[in-house]
Structure 1
Amino acid sequence: MSVESRQSPRPRAGRTTAGRRRLRHALTVAAIDLFLAQGYDATTVDEIAAAAGVGRRTFFRYFRSKEDAIFPDHEDVLGDIERSLATAAPAQDPVAVACTAVRLVLDYYLADPDVSVKRFALTRTVPSLRDREVATVDRYQRVFARYLRERFEAADDPAADLRASVAAAAVAAAHNHVLRRWLRSGGEEDVHANAEEAFQLVVDAFSGPVEPGGEGRTVVAVMEASASMSEVMRQISAALRTN
C-alpha cells in the first residue's frame, strides 16, 4: 500500500469549520449576484444552490430561506457584541463600551466590501430584505439599551431607563449613518475617520454623571429636520443636562 493510499482522505468543503464558512459565503455571494441579475422574487433556492456548486439540501443545512442567505452572520455578530459588553470592565464608560461594541457590526461589513455594497443595493429595492435589515438593527439596539440600563441603574441614575433608550438609539444611529455613508460611496470613503467622529459625538452627549432629581422628567429637543448629526447630538445632550 502506498503512502498516499494510507493517508486520511482530505475533508470536503463543509466538513470543517473553515469549509463551512467558505460554503456559507459562497451561497451568500451566489444569492446576491442572482438577486441583482434576475430579481429577488424570480430567483429560486435551486438556482442559488446550483450557482454555489451544491444541492438544494445543502442550502437548507445553512439557511432556512433565500432571505436568510443575505444576512448570514448577524447571529454570530450579535453574540460577539453580547460577549464584548459582558466582559467590559466596570470602570469603563458604558457609552464608550457600547460604541466600541457596535464597531463589530461595522467590521463585519468592512470584511467583505464587495458583498456589502451589493447587499446594500438589494436592501434599497427589495422591501422584505429592507424590513429584515431594520429588524436586525432593532435587535442590536435592544442589546445596547439593556446593557446601558443596567450600568446606569448600578450608578443610581434616576433617569436610567430613558437615558439608556436614547443613548442606545444614538449608538445605533451613529453606526448606521457611518455605514450607509460608506456604502453609498461604493466602499471608498474613510469609514474609520467618520466612525471616530460619530461615536465621539455620542460619547460626549451621553457620558458623564447625570444630575439627581431627573426622575419623571420629559426631555424635549426641537430641531430642523435637516439638522446634521452633530447638531442633533448637541441639542439632545444639552436637553438631558439642563432640564
Structure 2
Amino acid sequence: MSRFLYGANVQANGIRQHYLRYGGQGPALILIPGITSPAITWGFVAERLGEKYDTYVLDVRGRGLSSSGPELTYDAETCAQDVNAFAAALKLDSYSLIGHSMGARFALRAAVLQPAGVRRLVLVDPPVSGPGRRDYPGKWPWYVDSIRQSLSGMDAEQMRAYCPTWSEEQRQLRAEWLHTCYEPAIQRAYEDFHQVDSHRDYPALSMPTLLMIAGLGGVILPEDEAEIRALQPEITLAHVANAGHMIPWDDFDGFFRALGDFLD
C-alpha cells in the first residue's frame, strides 16, 4: 500500500514551494533533495519514511514544480531560508530535517539559522568542497549535458549514459523530470559548492545530528570526517560502505540501516 498522500503548493519566502506528502502520521520530517533531484525522484525513499513519519519532500526552487525562472535568486543562503519558511508556512513547530548532497548543505544552514523547531538533523553525504578546499568530485559537464539533452526529450535508455547503475524505473523517472531543473539554478548551486564554506555551521549545531557517508562516493574522505568531528564533537557518523554518492539508489537497505532509529 502506498504511503503517498498528495502533492501541494505553499507560498513561502516569496515563492511557490511544491512538496509531496507521505504518511501523514508520526513526527514531522522534511526531506530536501540534491542538486538535480526533483521531489518525486525521492518518492521511493519517502514511501518507506512515511511508514513512521509525516514526511514532506520539497521541490527546491528551480526544480520540479516549485517556482523557477530568471527573476529568482538561487544562492545557498536563500535556499536555506526557503526551508525554514516552508516549515513556518505549514505550521510545523517540531520536525526533523533530512538533506542529501546540496540539500544537506541547505538543511545544515537552515538548522543553524532557525534551530528552535528542528528535533533532529540528518546530513546525507554533503559536499565538503569550499574556498581553499578540493573540488567537488562531480564534474559540471555531467549535470549540464544531461539537463540540455532532457529539454528535447529523453528516455530511460538515453539516461543510461549518465546513470549506468540505476534501474530502468529510476532512469525513466529522472528522464521524465530532469527538464524541470532550471540550468542557472543548478549552476549557482554547483558554484556554491566551491564558494560557500559549510564548515562554518557545524560548531553552531544544537540538535542531535547524523552525518551519513557514502563509502564509494569520494565526497567525504576520512580527513573530512575528522575535521567535521573536531568542529562538532557530538555528531554521529554512519557509513554506507557499498554505496556511491546517491546512497539510497545504490544501497536502499544500507541507507535505512545507517539511519537506524536516529529520528526516534
**TM-score band, normalised by the shorter chain?**
under 0.3
Larger Rg: 1
Higher RCO (CA-CA < 8 Å; seq separation 6+): 2
TM-score (normalizing by structure 2):
0.26
Greater strand fraction, Structure 1 or Structure 2:
2
TM-score (normalizing by structure 1):
0.28
